Structure 1
Amino acid sequence: MKNLTEFSGSERSRDLSRLKTLPKFYIREIPIFGDLILAPMDGYSDMPFRLLCHELGSAISYTEFINVDSLHGRVPNQVMARKLRFDSSEYPRTIQIYGHDEDRLVEVAQRMEAEYAPTIIDLNMGCYVKKIAERGAGSGMLRDPEKIGRVFSRLTHCLRVPVTGKIRLGWDEDTRNYIEVAKILEDNGASLIAVHARTKKQGYTGEADWNAITEIKQAVKIPVIGNGDVKTVADIDQIKAQTGCDGVMIGRGAIGNPWIFSRKDRRDVTPEEKIALMRRHVALNADFYGDRLGLVLFRKHAVRYIQKLVDGDDLRLPLTHCSAQLEFERIISEFEQVHEIARLTD
């Protein structure tokens, strides 16, 4: 079995070399060679999945979000250490943090820069989860624009790396303060704004308001990344044309379809390609987490990979109970034989 380094080195570089001509945009002085980006998603954007998305064209690697309270004055535990781990091929490497305490945000950001050498530090102001937002972290920060200004002023003055922010449109429909927040971010040194075009109260319900992204893009001079309701190649083209955004961040639409970063829709991915990537994902997970935990954490991806696969439902139950690589290989090999699916080789 290939290890993580072998999966993420020259093979990946060859695939991406054709894309790396001219930068699509810059985050301060850092060139970004692509306009499609895997969104930071807790429980999903771990290193194995990031590597696959990076290989297929995702232009920036974001960690899962990091709670500064869990690191303040503490050594990272095993779970946190995994979240902070990057492969050498990942660039630019972005650590996303969240928290409600200004001093802790600054202290932990400085530690992250010193100990993990990220390319960028990003502040999450978009998480809508109640226990986070109600405490004033994540999208809860949107209720205090002055605090956002103070935090960014401090971060951009004490860190050498660029500082970016991910926001929503506001707390609710009555407090859509995205233009105010965007200008505060720019005025206090932010190098990029990523915008999930919903309010905190919406969560993932309703439609994303791409017109708000257009307004933000027109209001600031720093790069703006659009996010929300991007599931197909047509969506990518539409959000870019409608908003003028510099790049497109894709979250839920990439789960089970990392090929979207190569501008390939789910329906256009062959069974052979799906199964080959599932094998690679399982191998990466097993190498990163260990055999059993790697398979357990793969299950949520598996149910998305098999969507639109002919008779894919036949795989759902066995894959969601699978806990070893050999068992996974047996299940997949039997499915290939029954459906006469050719096995792709590297």
Structure 2
Amino acid sequence: MTQQPLFTVGDVPVFGDAILAPMAGYSDVPYRALCRAYGSAMHYTEFVPAEALLGKRVHERFRRRLDTQPGEHPMVFQIFGNNAQMLLDAALRIQEWGPDIIDINMGCATRKVSGRGAGVGMMPQPELIAETFKLLSQHLEVPVTGKIRLGWDATQENFLEIGRILEQNGAALIAMHGRTKVQKYGGNANWDAIAQLKQAVSVPVIGNGDVQGPEDIDQMKAHTGCDGVMIGRAAIGNPWIFARQRREDLAVTDIIKAVRLHAREMVAYYGEASGLRQFRKHLKRYFEDIPDLELDSLLSTESFVEFEEGLEEVETAVPTQTPLKNLQTATV
């Protein structure tokens, strides 16, 4: 029997409800491959500034952020900027590179992005958002989507206005992080606001914010009615969340299996030394809650043979079949 999609983005089917968030420095080809293996249903690239895509030759650093693997679908290319025509020109260029969907980031709260009217800095500019989405939806062949926050601050929570503008001007999906720009990642995400947005628009809505474990995916869906749940920080070092597995129920052998797979993907994509260097930030998160592990050799080597030897030492240092929650209890 043919599986039915849970929702569609324009004419693009999505077959699951747990989605890896776009994260600068993390949502690259290797990590997306790993999360897809565990069940992430749709993938966003790291975001790229529109102006970086408009020269005669796109710098390799930005071109690589929009790289994909064969069979990686649905694939969302995410860009940002503060000029509608520039965003259109960039979107037209990258459309030729094969995305299923192009997304405009209106949620990044970092000062260097939002301070120049891009990212969440677009939200106080509803006319710019309307112009941008009208242009893109008229001229692109792929669906256009937007990722937003509640607004700039507690006095400017204009997500309902922006949501309606997005829908009226051709957006095929809206993802929303339930915090303001000023909050960044502090306080609690407002799931009630995600529910309000879902009620206000007819296009699919993806909720984002405060999903820490697999149970939160279902709780957010039940609370908000959202079509999908976007997972960011809680997925770093924890791809099992997409398979609805609780990290504390895993054995160390499960962790090491994922580490090997991820490290191999990194080395295959970036090369041996560079891949292992860039993998270090992930490695720390994979092993951060396993007591009494010595990781210095794993975190310093640029040789994959030595890395494999280090993993074998980890396997002999801890009882690999014991669930993590039991290891942690034993040390208390």
User: Into which bin does the TM-score normalised by the smaller protein fall?
Assistant: over 0.9
1:179-227 CA-to-partner distances (Å, cap 9, x unmatched) read 0000000000000000000001111111101110000000000000000
Q: TM-score, normalised by structure 2?
A: 0.94
Q: Distance in 2 between matches of 1:52 and 1:268?
A: 19
- 1:56, 1:259 within 8 Å by CA — same for their partners in 2? yes
Partner of 1:12: none
| SS of 1:64 mapped into structure 2 | coil
**Quick one: which amino acid aligns to residue 250 of structure 1?**
I
Residue type at the aligned position of 2:34 = L
Q: Counterparts in 2 of 1:164-243, with a 5 A limit? A: 164-243=145-224
- 1:152 corresponds, among 129, 133, 138, to 133
Q: What is the Cα-based RMSD across aligned positions, in Å?
A: 1.4
Counterpart residue number, 2:82: 100
Shift of 1:324: 2.1
The answer to whether the Cα contact below 8 Å between 2:251 and 2:320 also exists between their aligned partners in 1 is: no
Residues 76 and 210 (structure 1), Cα distance of their counterparts in 2 relative to 1, 3 Å cut: same
Measured after TM superposition, the shift of residue 310 of structure 1 is 4.1
* Secondary structure class of the residue paired with 1:174: coil
User: 1:43 and 2:25 equivalent?
Assistant: yes
Aligned to 2:261: 280
CA deviations over 1:252-274 (Å, ceiling 9, x no partner): 01000001000011112221111
- Distance, in Å, in 2 between the alignment partners of 1:158 and 1:85 is 23
Paired residues of 1:125 and 1:137 also in contact (CA < 8 A): yes
1:54 Cα shift? Answer: 0.7
SS of 1:282's equivalent in the other structure is helix
**Could you tell me which residue of structure 2 aligns to residue 329 of structure 1?**
308
Give the distance between the partners of 1:61 and 1:324, measured in 2 at CA: 30
1:318 paired to 2:322: no
What aligned pairs does 1:300-319 form with structure 2 within 5 A after superposition? 300-312=281-293, 314-315=294-295, 317-319=296-298
Contact 1:267/1:308, CA 8 A, preserved across alignment: no
Measured in 2, the distance between the counterparts of 1:104 and 1:277 equals: 40
SS across alignment from 1:26: strand
Supply the distance in 1 between the matched residues of 2:195 and 2:317 (Cα, whole angstroms).
50
Candidates 154, 163, 183, aligned match of 2:144: 163
C-alpha contact (below 8 Å) 2:195/2:225 kept by paired residues: yes
Per the alignment, in what secondary structure is the counterpart of residue 82 of structure 2?
coil
Q: Is the 8 A contact 1:167 1:196 kept in 2?
A: yes
Counterpart Cα distance in 2 of 1:49 and 1:76? 23
Which residue pairs with 1:121 in the alignment? 102
Quote the residue 1:5 is aligned against. none
Alpha-carbon distance between aligned partners in 2 of 1:166 and 1:74, rounded to the nearest angstrom: 28
Partner in structure 2 of residue 341 of structure 1: 320
Q: Deviations over 1:278-321 (max 9, x none)?
A: 01111110110011110111011011101332434x22x33332
SS at match of 1:44: coil
Which secondary structure state, in structure 1, belongs to the residue aligned with residue 40 of structure 2? coil
Q: 2:277 aligns with which of 289, 296, 309?
A: 296
Contact kept in structure 2, 1:162 and 1:191, CA below 8 Å: yes
Per-residue deviation, residues 234-263 of structure 1 (Å, max 9, x unmatched): 211211110000000000010000010000
Quote the Cα distance in structure 1 between the aligned partners of 2:317 and 2:209: 38
- Alignment coverage as a number of residue pairs: 321
Q: Report the Cα distance in structure 2 between the residues aligned to 1:211 and 1:186, rounded to whole angstroms.
A: 20
Residue equivalent to 1:28: 10
Indicate conservation of the 8 Å contact 1:193/1:224, yes or no: yes
* TM-score between the two structures when normalised by the length of structure 1: 0.90
State how far apart, in whole Å, the 1-side matches of 2:145 and 2:188 are: 25
Q: Which residue of 1 aligns with 2:327?
A: none
- Asked if the contact 1:214–1:243 (Cα under 8 Å) also holds between the matched residues in 2, the reply is yes
* Identity value in percent: 48
Q: Provide the residue aligned with 1:87 in structure 2.
A: 69
Match of 2:243 in 1: 262
Distance 2:287 2:133 in 1: 42
